[in-house]
């Protein structure tokens, strides 16, 4: 019996549910980082496209700016495509995994097991007290009985 009131043998911080939660958190961080990178790439590419889109007199400068615009437009399209893939991946995760309901179910089960452990601890404590009381009664009967005197004589 654990004196601290928590169930022994591991708790909410160990086991397969903890590793699944850690993997989910890691995946969420990776997806958020991808999202930030893609959005910053889109914003950077768009701002460069707008700044380069001025019409200048020298034809060489125009061809350089046109080439830079093509590169930035390509990068903008790649970032947008990456965002679309990210959205698709998030939809698949939401459909197939259901992390929120899974985590809610795990938390519910942990609470149920904690309550069961608390009930078991109280029951064991009550049984121990009853056993101690019964043992004291038996000892008093034994030491006060006549049969005890015959055994030692």
Burial class (CB in 10 A: 0-12, 13-18, 19+), 21: middle
pLDDT of amino acid 6? 44
Per-residue pLDDT band at 72 (split at 50, 70, 90): confident
| pTM, rounded to two decimals | 0.45
Decide if pLDDT at 147 tops 50: yes
């Amino acid at each position: 019996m654990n004196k601290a009131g928590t169930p022994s043998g591991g708790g909410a911080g160990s086991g397969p549910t903890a590793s699944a939660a850690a993997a989910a958190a890691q995946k969420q961080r990776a997806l958020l980082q991808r999202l930030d990178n893609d959005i910053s790439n889109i914003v950077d590419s768009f701002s460069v496209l707008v700044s380069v889109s001025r019409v200048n007199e020298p034809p060489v400068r125009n061809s350089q700016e046109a080439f830079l615009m093509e590169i930035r437009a390509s990068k903008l399209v790649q970032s947008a495509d990456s965002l679309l893939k990210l959205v698709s991946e998030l939809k698949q995760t939401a459909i197939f995994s259901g992390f929120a309901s899974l985590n809610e179910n795990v938390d519910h089960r942990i609470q149920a097991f904690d309550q069961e452990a608390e009930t078991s601890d109280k029951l064991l404590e009550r049984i121990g007290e009853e056993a101690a009381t019964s043992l004291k009664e038996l000892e008093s009967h034994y030491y006060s009985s006549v049969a005890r005197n015959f055994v030692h004589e």
